[in-house]
A and B are shown apart, each in its own frame.
Chain A
Amino acid sequence: MANPATSPRGIAALHVDKLGLLVALLTGWGLGGASFATFRANRIVQGSAVEFWNALPSSLALAAMLGIVAAAAAGALGRSHLLRLASGLAGLIVVLLLIGTAAGYLTSEGDKLARVSPAAGFWLLVIAFALLIIDALSRLSVKPLVRLVILAAFYLVFGLGLAAGLWDDLSLLKEYSTRAASFWAEGRNHLVLAMGSMAAAILAGIPIGLVCYALPATRSAILNILNTIQTIPSMAMFTLLIAPLGWIATNIPGASELGIRGIGTAPAFVALFLYSLLPVVANTVAGLAGVPHNVRDAARGTGMTAWQRLARVDFPLALPTILTGIRIVLVQNIGLVTIAALIGGGGYGVFVFQGLGQMATDLVLLGALPTVLLAVSAAVVLDAVIEAASSPGAQGKAE
């Protein structure tokens, strides 16, 4: 009913799709204005920019360019979301294949030192097609579970491509091949730290949340303290814990045998645990507070004991909110573990900070890209978990 007032005799302006315009602009810039790849004679020398035209054999460059323009045009002008999704995916795949091909083309046979890495033009094209995909997915309002399937498919295709050696000539993979063992070891460290501290925070945080909920007098004090902890910058927090943990290691018998040291995993674990408490506790309180009053009343009316009410009514209804807190924790931890490398905690941050120290971009990327990928994947997975947890019980709650 309440349509906003329209200009009375205004002629409907010629419709220009702004996303289409943006995609066209990014594609044009990526193809024509920015270099596609960077060539370096070895790992740390200054690179030289290579245009799209020179990065590929000329006949392939022409074909690829036509393909990219066609995909971008179909995406930009297309009215259907599925067409947008398809052209975005097609374009992205083409661009990813091209950078692998370009790396092989630019590296002369047998040259082990030369490095070819993606440059601004490549990233602009990736962004253009990613925008098409994201827009299509958000307009199709894809359910979290479906997004999980899409993520799995991405990993499968990407993994197959890697196994087939499509990107082997790319600088990043050359960097990887010299450190394959430590890449996986640090990856495991990264996940163990992020998820271990999360698990500890869940075990401690949910009971604390219950206490906060049951005793309102404690609520603001506990939440204020946890809030303040969250505010402390991560580097300060990690390093501030070195001293107390070092003291424990030297003065408490048996502590150092347990692996507690002033530097390394122990302070990192404690810091991550402390950061993780707020989202878990706050969301537990919010979830419990959000249980409808009449539901709680009815539970009492049926003669359930306090524990039965908690286990069968309150907790299941609060679960989606608690899971949302856990999602925040996991995504946040995956990022924060990176900083643990500064105090010897391991994880992908090792590559990031080593790379920054050596001014080796590839090494930075080798640490930063998996971190981003892990964080985004964790978000997608937990969104699906939250959806699965909320679908049977939460309808009534959401009215």
Chain B
Amino acid sequence: MKRLPALLRILAFVCLLAFLISPTSFAPLLSMAAQGNGPVIYERQSLWVLALQHLGIVFAATIVASAIAVAMAIFVTRRSGTELLPLARSVVNIGQTFPPVAVLALAVPATGFGVVPTFLALFLYAMLPIFENTLTGLSTLPRDVQEAAKGVGMTGTQRLFSVELPLCLPLILAGIRVAVVISLSTATIGSTVAAPTLGEVIIAGLQSNNFAYVLQGAVVVAMMAVLIHDALYALERRLSAIRSA
């Protein structure tokens, strides 16, 4: 019984790969959903390429956002940055009430259509949970551990890199996980501003009333999101298992 979720995940992953590599072998299954004699498999662009582009834009935005958000959280928890701490907390709180779609829509007037506004929206939105979690981690470190780190003669930089950040790592990862899930979703909507993502397939299906398109796009996106979320969550649990003091 305990193995069931793991087996399901592996099965889902295999199915996803099989579908991306050879979508036509799934055509009979999808033809039921297609309207009349319309095409069954999206052909304007290979699903494989779209999936990679989708993931590419999400990961690029997440990586840049992680680097900047963690750096900012470090800055506002050092002595020289503390005066910006209350402001940073409030801005992040307010920012998180902004709907991701609205951020995407507002990025368009600023940057035009295509990958750029999508990247910008993903990047801006991804920073919020990562910054918040890093900040929480850095400001709730056990006092005795910090005291000991000073006491053994670590310099500020040594404390940061060998004690503080490693201890925050599970929390930072949790922030990244939240960011990735939001980004995967927002990137799908990015296709409405002409970013090349899997949303394109769904939109094409909606426009041509071809439910087979909608289905393949939506299922691939959903499976990718669930699998990535699960993988990140597993990694996080593994890391925090060692640290649970």
Measured CB to CB, the residues of A under 8 A from B are 2, 4-5, 17-19, 120, 131, 134-135, 137-139, 224, 228, 230-237, 239-240, 242-243, 331, 334-336, 338-339, 342-343, 349, 352-353, 355-357, 359, 361, 364-365, 367-368, 371-372, 375-376, 378-379
Interchain nearest-CB distance for B243 vs A (Å): 22
Q: Is B81 an interface residue (CB 8 A)?
A: yes
Are B89 and A236 neighbours in the complex by a CB distance under 8 Å?
Answer: no
Inside 8 A of A120's CB, which chain B residues have their CB? 110
Are B86 and A372 neighbours in the complex by a CB distance under 8 Å?
Answer: no
Q: Which residue of chain A has its CB nearest to the CB of B186?
A: A233
- Bound CA span A291–B229, Å: 31
Interchain nearest-CB distance for B178 vs A (Å): 10
Looking at B17-25, B162-170, B214-222, the stretch in contact with chain A turns out to be: B214-222
Q: A17-B83, A356-B108, A361-B109 are in contact. Are A236 and B98 (CB under 8 A)?
A: no
Inside 8 A of B113's CB, which chain A residues have their CB? 359
- Bound CA span A234–B199, Å: 11
Are B91 and A236 neighbours in the complex by a CB distance under 8 Å?
Answer: no
Are B90 and A240 neighbours in the complex by a CB distance under 8 Å?
Answer: no
Are A243 and B86 neighbours in the complex by a CB distance under 8 Å?
Answer: no
- Bound CA span A35–B222, Å: 42
Are B225 and A352 neighbours in the complex by a CB distance under 8 Å?
Answer: no
Q: Is B142 an interface residue (CB 8 A)?
A: no
Residues 162-193 of B at the A interface (beta carbon under 8 Å): 181, 184-185, 188-189, 192-193
Which of B33, B87, B99, B229 has the largest count of A CB atoms less than 10 A from its CB?
B99
Are B222 and A237 neighbours in the complex by a CB distance under 8 Å?
Answer: yes
Q: Is B237 an interface residue (CB 8 A)?
A: no
Are A335 and B222 neighbours in the complex by a CB distance under 8 Å?
Answer: no
- Bound CA span A38–B225, Å: 40
Are A234 and B90 neighbours in the complex by a CB distance under 8 Å?
Answer: no
Interchain nearest-CB distance for A48 vs B (Å): 15
Inside 8 A of B101's CB, which chain A residues have their CB? 335-336, 338-339, 349, 352, 368, 371
Are A236 and B221 neighbours in the complex by a CB distance under 8 Å?
Answer: yes
Are B90 and A138 neighbours in the complex by a CB distance under 8 Å?
Answer: yes
Inside 8 A of A242's CB, which chain B residues have their CB? 211, 214
Inside 8 A of B184's CB, which chain A residues have their CB? 233
Inside 8 A of B102's CB, which chain A residues have their CB? 335, 338, 352, 368, 371-372, 375
Q: Which residue of chain A has its CB nearest to the CB of B32?
A: A243
Q: Which residue of chain B has its CB nearest to the CB of A364?
A: B105
Inside 8 A of A372's CB, which chain B residues have their CB? 98-99, 102, 106
Inside 8 A of A237's CB, which chain B residues have their CB? 218, 222
Are A134 and B98 neighbours in the complex by a CB distance under 8 Å?
Answer: no
Interchain nearest-CB distance for A160 vs B (Å): 24
Inside 8 A of B235's CB, which chain A residues have their CB? none
Are B91 and A134 neighbours in the complex by a CB distance under 8 Å?
Answer: yes
Are B205 and A19 neighbours in the complex by a CB distance under 8 Å?
Answer: no
Interchain nearest-CB distance for A397 vs B (Å): 20
Are B109 and A232 neighbours in the complex by a CB distance under 8 Å?
Answer: no
Are B105 and A356 neighbours in the complex by a CB distance under 8 Å?
Answer: yes
Inside 8 A of A139's CB, which chain B residues have their CB? 86
> Contact flags (1/0) for B84-99 with A, using CB distance below 8 Å?
1011011100100111
Interchain nearest-CB distance for B206 vs A (Å): 7
Q: A134-B87, A134-B90 are in contact. Are A352 and B226 (CB under 8 A)?
A: no
Are A235 and B90 neighbours in the complex by a CB distance under 8 Å?
Answer: no
Are B225 and A233 neighbours in the complex by a CB distance under 8 Å?
Answer: yes
Pick from A231, A355, A368: contact of B226, CB below 8 A: A231
Interchain nearest-CB distance for A267 vs B (Å): 11
Q: Which 7 A-B pairs have the closest CB atoms?
A: A335-B99, A233-B185, A236-B218, A138-B90, A138-B86, A368-B105, A135-B87
Inside 8 A of B33's CB, which chain A residues have their CB? 243
Q: Is B238 an interface residue (CB 8 A)?
A: no
> Contact flags (1/0) for B32-44 with A, using CB distance below 8 Å?
0100000000000
Inside 8 A of A231's CB, which chain B residues have their CB? 181, 225-226, 229
Inside 8 A of B105's CB, which chain A residues have their CB? 352, 355-356, 364, 367-368
Q: Is B100 an interface residue (CB 8 A)?
A: yes
Inside 8 A of B215's CB, which chain A residues have their CB? 240, 243
Which of B97, B98, B147 has the largest count of A CB atoms less than 10 A from its CB?
B97
Q: Which residue of chain A has its CB nearest to the CB of B227?
A: A231
Pick from A135, A224, A339, A364: contact of B108, CB below 8 A: A364
- Bound CA span A339–B104, Å: 12
Are A239 and B218 neighbours in the complex by a CB distance under 8 Å?
Answer: yes
Are B83 and A334 neighbours in the complex by a CB distance under 8 Å?
Answer: no
Inside 8 A of B181's CB, which chain A residues have their CB? 230-231
- Bound CA span A134–B181, Å: 28
Are A239 and B97 neighbours in the complex by a CB distance under 8 Å?
Answer: no
Q: Which residue of chain A has its CB nearest to the CB of B189?
A: A235
Interchain nearest-CB distance for B170 vs A (Å): 17
Residues 192-244 of B at the A interface (beta carbon under 8 Å): 192-193, 199, 202-203, 205-206, 211, 214-215, 217-219, 221-222, 225-226, 229
Q: Which residue of chain B has its CB nearest to the CB of A120?
A: B110
Question: Can you give 11 contacting A-B residue pairs, CB < 8 Å?
Answer: A18-B83, A134-B94, A135-B86, A230-B181, A232-B221, A234-B189, A235-B199, A240-B222, A331-B97, A338-B102, A365-B106
Interchain nearest-CB distance for A231 vs B (Å): 5
- Bound CA span A310–B226, Å: 35
Q: Which residue of chain A has its CB nearest to the CB of B86?
A: A138
Interchain nearest-CB distance for A299 vs B (Å): 32
Are B84 and A339 neighbours in the complex by a CB distance under 8 Å?
Answer: no
Inside 8 A of B110's CB, which chain A residues have their CB? 120
Interchain nearest-CB distance for A65 vs B (Å): 24
